[in-house]
A and B are shown apart, each in its own frame.
Chain A
Amino acid sequence: MDESNHWYGHSRILARYCGYPDDVPRRIQGFVQHGWNYLHGYPPNDHWCTPGYPRFIWADVLRRRGWSMGRRGHYLIGAPWIYLLDLEPDLGLMPEEEREGTIWYPFHGWEKNAVIGDHGRLAAHIREVETGPVTVCLYWLEFANIGIRAAYESAGFRVICHGSRGSRWDDAGRDFLRGQLTELRRHRRVASNRLGSALFYGASVGCDIAVYGDPMQFEGERPEYGGTARRMRLWPELHGEHVDRGLAAEAARRELGFEYQATPEELRRMFGWKRVRCA
């Protein structure tokens, strides 16, 4: 249907949850929200979401907001992440006491828009705050940028990358989320300079979360989101160097839509994966 359905291996995870092999990504008849979002689940210019196809979103607030903005056809299934957790209850699981350190996700740009900011200063800030070992996880674009990598490596951090988010036609993004899950389950803390999917993913597997440091500038920042100020207004309790674990877990439950997990049969029918007899 749309390229973004296959990013981060989402379509493969959902296929496996529905009992299909995940070697070839399946076409989903609709649009799966591909990342945490505080607009309506999709970018502001979502004209590619053709009406008549469902928008598979993560949380009810997105539906309400989308409805108020003239969008229709929302269908709540929660994040693909919750289906991964359902499939992989044990992947990378460690005893609680063996989990250590912080995994840090600096806010990243993407293929079309870069992020501008001083990574060296951010690394110094992280060094000040974090007490244990730090793993910095970069998006593949920044990972490929030797300058940025060096900024973190020189601070003594381990620098990793979950890989590219992949596409319909290659296997690149296939294990993106599985790798992320393994890493998150190794660490005690997950942090970033902007609230994002990774933090909620972390909170959902028992990590403490933290949001601090320069949020940096995004080239194509859209005013519709309301910027960092709005994130601070909406989730003041999730910002800071130390965040209440219970509040974070509750927010993750809500934002990732844990209560909206659909049954495999429902997804098979909603995604158009079931062969339907024509009348």
Chain B
Amino acid sequence: MRMTEAPGNVRLIGGEMLLWSDADAATDWRGAGLELVRRLVPPGGRVLVAGPHPRGLIGAVSGAASSVAVLVRSYPDACALGERHPALDVHCGRLRALTGVEPYDLVLALDGLERTHSAEEQAPPWRASLQALAALVAPGGRLVLAVPNDLGVDRFVDARPPDREGADGHWEPHGFDPSHPGGPEALDAALEAAGLVAERCYAAYPSRRAPRALFGRELLREDLPEALTVPLTAPGGDTMLVADPLRLTRLAFRHGLGEHLAPLWLTVATRPLSAAVPDAVTTDHAGEPDLTTHHAGEPGLTAHHAGEPHAVAAEEGPDGAGAEESAHEPGAGVAAAEEWPYEAAAEAEGAPSQDAGEAAVVDRAPRDLLPQGLVEVGRAVHEVTATSTRRLPGGTERPIPRGRIVEEVLVEACAREDVRAVRDLLAALAAWVADGGDAPADNLVWDGERFTAITPVPAPGSPAPAPVVLCRILWRFAVRLLAAGHHHPWPWPLDAGQLALTLCGMAGQTCDQDDLDRARKLEAELGQPVGPAELAGAAPTYRDLLSARDRVTEQLTAALARIARLETKLSFRERELVRTRAKLRRSQRKATALRRTLGYRLSRRLSRPRRAARKVLRLLAR
């Protein structure tokens, strides 16, 4: 039976869910989340990862800290984790049943608190879960907690909010918990009530399921350059969106609501050293006595493991394996590096973050340990401030170009049918490309004088001639423009290729079909997804569908009108042709009849000698 197959480092604490897995539901943290965690892991310290987390994150943490415990409610998940990382302490069960452990120097709950309770108990209010989690943080230790925002931009554009789907995970409906924080201030207050001090609160974008960027509160208060928001397009996955949240995100930033409308908050809080040391063993949620009845449901398991110190479980694992694991995981081979592209960076970053981590254990961390912001661009993580970015690890600081994103400028000009602005900008773009510039319009900033690529574009295998580069940029823009259903002034060339060639023409560059074919090939080689519609397996958004339908209706109306017109013209021309041919036939008949007349034949005969004489004269004259 399953229970006997559990690896030795898995401890059942009560409330574990036997036929359940959160492995696919966990918040999909990648580079940015990993980078933050990596900086916070205290070497030699004790770390607790509470709730389901992506594999890469657990791998990175277990590689960096000396003692790592994981708390998951799913039994299969716990077994899988225990097998993969023999050095981990895996606690399987509900959060509030995790008692009798020493507090931790770092508690990570990057998946929030929603998946820390279990179907075996009545779901505790959010605040009760926070209390329980906070109790596990040692004085001077840290808690990193994710809190989904019910008013996040991604909620606005969700066509089918998952909360209302009634999926298996929603035995407790979401959205009715009054203790769930309703804003960053409420979150701070809740942390304070739990005896923690918020150090920095990040707004995570672009979606709560797959956060790819973290912006500190202080950063969001500044006037951020538009270029920063470029990587924030949400991958739709199989969820249906009403619209791409990017535009909404930009609006939220412009209105100073970047923090309030973040899909997810990620807060880093510390328990002050001076505060009374919470006794993890005795703190047993005195606040909610009504819940104790539910504990009765699984006393056997709790009792079974109660006497088993977690440390033993760790020691029981194969001795070498733990060390090997921790040494091996971050520097994974090629295959692993592909699966978790940010792992490689962990190794290089190791030394500086360790220094910083030690400081964190000793005292409150210096502020610069916590980055102002982290943004993932493709596979790279960048640390951002209001004015600069730095590619991690070890990149040099680059100023963020000020100005507007070229694609947005063009989309605006198209919406205004301002072909002059389009011509001027494209002419400038063509000049820039002729000087060797190359970046797609959605990755390019124009400040009125200069173009600057936001993220460097991977160089193609062989350098392409300028017309092909321009063609590629404009083709990509044309595809995206048409796919997004934006209004534009070109009624005639309706397909992206013809539109791209027209745009080239507007830039003063004559490109032909061959250039376009080469440009497409080049684009395919570079392999950047062209638009929201082409993002891996994404469903089109509801607004895209609506506008696509409207566009098709319009095109159909226009096409029908054109057919009607052409039919009329055709009938007219046919009539003309028939009339002309009849006229021609009549004249031919008349001519034939004329030739047969006696007078005509006589005059031909008579004129024959004269014509012969003229011919001779002409020959003589030569």
Q: Which residues of A contact B (CB under 8 A)?
A: 29-30, 50-54, 60, 63, 72-77, 259-260, 262-270, 272, 274, 276-277, 279
Contact = CB atoms under 8 A, between A and B. Distances in A.
B465 interface: no
Given A50-B565, A63-B417, A270 B502 contact: yes
B491 A262 contact: no
Nearest to A272: B492
Nearest to A259: B420
Contacts of A53: 491-492, 562
Contacts of A260: 419-420
A247 to B, nearest CB: 22
Interface of B: 417-420, 423, 489-493, 495, 498, 501-502, 504-510, 513, 555, 557-559, 561-562, 564-565
A269 B493 contact: yes
A63 B415 CA distance: 13
Contact of A263 (B501, B506, B555, B562): B506
Contacts of A50: 558, 561-562, 564-565
B489 to A, nearest CB: 6
A52 B561 contact: yes
Contacts of A272: 492
10 nearest interchain CB pairs?
A52-B558, A265-B505, A266-B505, A73-B491, A269-B502, A50-B565, A52-B562, A265-B510, A51-B558, A266-B506
A139 to B, nearest CB: 28
B561 A269 contact: no
Given A52-B555, A76-B420, 10 more contacts: A50-B558, A51-B558, A54-B491, A77-B419, A259-B420, A262-B506, A265-B506, A267-B505, A269-B492, A276-B498
B104 to A, nearest CB: 62
Contacts, number: 81
B489 A74 contact: yes
A55 B137 CA distance: 70
Contacts of A259: 420
Nearest to B516: A277
Nearest to A74: B417
A264 B505 CA distance: 8
A199 B557 CA distance: 39
A265 B512 CA distance: 10
Please classify the interface of chain B as helix (H, G, I), strand (E, B), loop, or mixed, using the class held by over half of its residues: helix
A265 B557 contact: no
A266 B562 CA distance: 22
19 contacts: A29-B492, A51-B557, A51-B561, A53-B491, A54-B492, A60-B418, A73-B489, A75-B490, A77-B419, A262-B506, A263-B508, A265-B505, A266-B423, A266-B502, A267-B505, A269-B505, A270-B492, A276-B498, A279-B495
Nearest to B509: A265
A52 B505 contact: no
A268 B511 CA distance: 12
A30 B492 contact: yes
Contacts of B490: 54, 75, 270
A263 B507 CA distance: 8
A279 B559 CA distance: 18
A232 to B, nearest CB: 29
Contacts of B564: 50
Contacts of B562: 50-53
Nearest to B559: A52
B430 to A, nearest CB: 10
Nearest to B506: A266
Nearest to B495: A279
Contacts of B417: 63, 74-76
Contacts of B565: 50
Contacts of A77: 419
Contacts of B498: 269, 276
Contacts of A63: 417
A265 B507 CA distance: 9
B423 to A, nearest CB: 7
B423 A262 contact: yes
